[in-house]
Structure 1
């Protein structure tokens, strides 16, 4: 199965539509964080897509695309603000309410959730089972994990550490670390 980026690199218009549809909210969320809206946000979004078209072959790991888009969007926002000579307001009455989450917070959480599932998909079945049980809400009790997986209760912690170490070595985790 080819990735969206591979299809886009071959000028597959459907792949480009999917990429734009999937990630435009992320770009607009970054714009909102910099108080860039309307036509200016559209300009930033267009500039990001142009940079992606120009640099598509530079992205070696397709799972790193969200991080690349975040970084590029931030850079485009800052460049626009410099060009317009605008400054971020210092009057606290003009600042967004910190109690209101930024639009990209939900998107970032969604991307992290999606990446966590990709990390799990790359792990051996036993690691996947253990980590899913340990990080479920509420967590599965150790006695139940022991009975289900046939692991002594005292060995669950060390097995967890080894499973997490393997998770950190997956490509999906590397993409998440790059995106942060």
Structure 2
């Protein structure tokens, strides 16, 4: 995941002034910035400020970024630093109880956040490779609260008895997508060994 050629390509193109590549980077990593900010219980206005600071810092540092594939880690670490800076300069927020995570290094927290974000992005990409029918079926089954089978049957125009087998086929196709196959091959043991 760290050597994602898509990230390297986007960083390279953004360095060269490609606005579409820059927009894709922001769209791809804005959820990461948001999730790090939420851990610090920042108000929405403060999250917006931190986000703008992170993107400004990226504009400043993008030309000198030595490892384009390390961008997600750079974003997570920069977001944490901006959150700390904001917390130090204002009294409007109550930080997360850092005593609970005092024995966990800041870098490990940032890496875990990056991995969680990358796994989510891979799953969304794999889900996008499914047929529209499978996407709709799995979406209906994953809603909270779950959509009743009779409603799914009506919306998809299939017998209730075929919903389970169709779900199984859709999940099998999802597992077989190249993105998820790579993620499965890069299991927790492999990720741990690389650190």
Alpha-carbon distance in 2 for matches of 1:31, 1:114: 18
Report what 1:16 is aligned to: 22
Go from structure 1 to structure 2 and tell me whether the alpha carbon gap of 1:46 and 1:18 turns closer, same or farther (over 3 Å shift): same
Q: Distance in 2 between matches of 1:135 and 1:25?
A: 23
1:121-156, Cα deviation, whole Å (9 max, x unpaired): xxxxxxx99x94x969xxxxxxxxxxxxxxxxxxxx
Using the size of structure 1 for normalisation, the TM-score is: 0.52
> CA offsets, 1:74-132, max 9 Å, x none?
00000001111344376xxxxxxxxxxxxx978632425879xxxxxxxxxxxx99x94
- Please list every run of 5 or more consecutive structure 2 residues that lacks an aligned counterpart in the other structure: 98-110, 123-180
SS across alignment from 2:17: coil
Q: Which has the higher contact order (CA 8 A, sep 6+)?
A: 1
Alignment of 1:23-172 (within 5 A): 23-85=29-91, 86-88=93-95, 108-111=115-118, 132=185
The verdict on how the C-alpha distance between 1:114 and 1:62 changes in structure 2, with shifts beyond 3 A counting, is farther
Deviation at 1:62, TM superposition (A): 1.2
**TM-score normalised per structure 2:** 0.48
Counterpart position of 1:94: none
Report the equivalent of 1:156.
none
